[in-house]
Amino acid sequence: MRVGFVGIGTMGRPMAANIVKGGHELIALDADYGRATGFAAEYGVRAARQAADLASAECVVTMLPDGPTVREAYRAANGLASVLRAGTLCIDMSSSDPTGTRALGKELAARGLTLLDAPVSGAVARARTATLTIMIGGDDAAAIERAKPVLACMGNRLFETGSLGCGHALKALNNFVAAAGFTAVAEALLVGKRFGLDPSKIIEVLNVSTGRNFHTDVVMLEHVIGGKFATGFALGLLAKDVRTAADLAEQVRLDAPLTRLVSERWALARERLGPTRDNSEAILSWDVSLD
């Protein structure tokens, strides 16, 4: 399949590389043309200067920072929606907001384009090894089947989650749960340290007790206690995903106080440290004494 890939960034680059390794023809487009040409030179594919260069694509994958950026890529003058042929399969793998995805899907359908949402979990390490978890949302079963050979190049766990937007909703909820877990462990470490406990001992005990989770198992020793702070996922992106989950709770009219509180904590970390810092550094922003 001829695939246009939009967003040759930290995650997009290894994902696009795995599509090429899977035997598909790929055209790379990025806001930074140098990124696209560098990728093209390394993998022997074409680099696009503008959306019109993807007009021949049978499938277009977007891997961009957020939903507004994705929608702008399609809606802009001479954007993707204006140049892609009817019947083109559009797959948004970004962490976009689900309601925005549904609105964009209706707009694209009016032009004969089919939108699927297929966000991922697994970060850069699993992007490189093509072992991402991919959450697929869509209203067209045949389109989902068409997409799977491309998606399978990037992930080994493909989940059909429901109608369009459900993939993005599940991704936001997953990241809310992850952020809540990190927040809980971070506060346990900060409280325990002030009381006189060794942070490494706290993690050692949690990992053989009921408090064990992904962060005690993977993140805390290496990135927080060890001071590496290099998980590869930006603080601002995680704060955005948790905000999406909180907004979703409001939209479905559910009183979800923990979702709101976790969103507030990550917004505070972003405000204090800046959006580009590693998400594991959030603990630094919360190490504050009461007045």
Catalytic residues: 171
Q: By the 8 A CB rule, do 163 and 138 touch?
A: yes
Nearest partner of 150 among 265, 211, 50, 59, judged by Cα: 59
CA dist 177 and 263 (Å) reads 11
SS3 286: helix
Cβ distance 44 to 23 under 8 Å? no
Question: What b/e readout covers 199-222, taking b as 16+ CB neighbours within 10 angstroms?
Answer: beebbeebeeeeeebebbeebbbe
> Most distant CA pair in the chain: distance in Å?
65
61 three-class SS? strand
Q: Provide Rg for the chain, Cα atoms.
A: 20
Q: Cβ contacts of residue 4 below 8 Å, gap of 6+?
A: 26, 27, 29, 48, 54, 57, 59, 60, 61
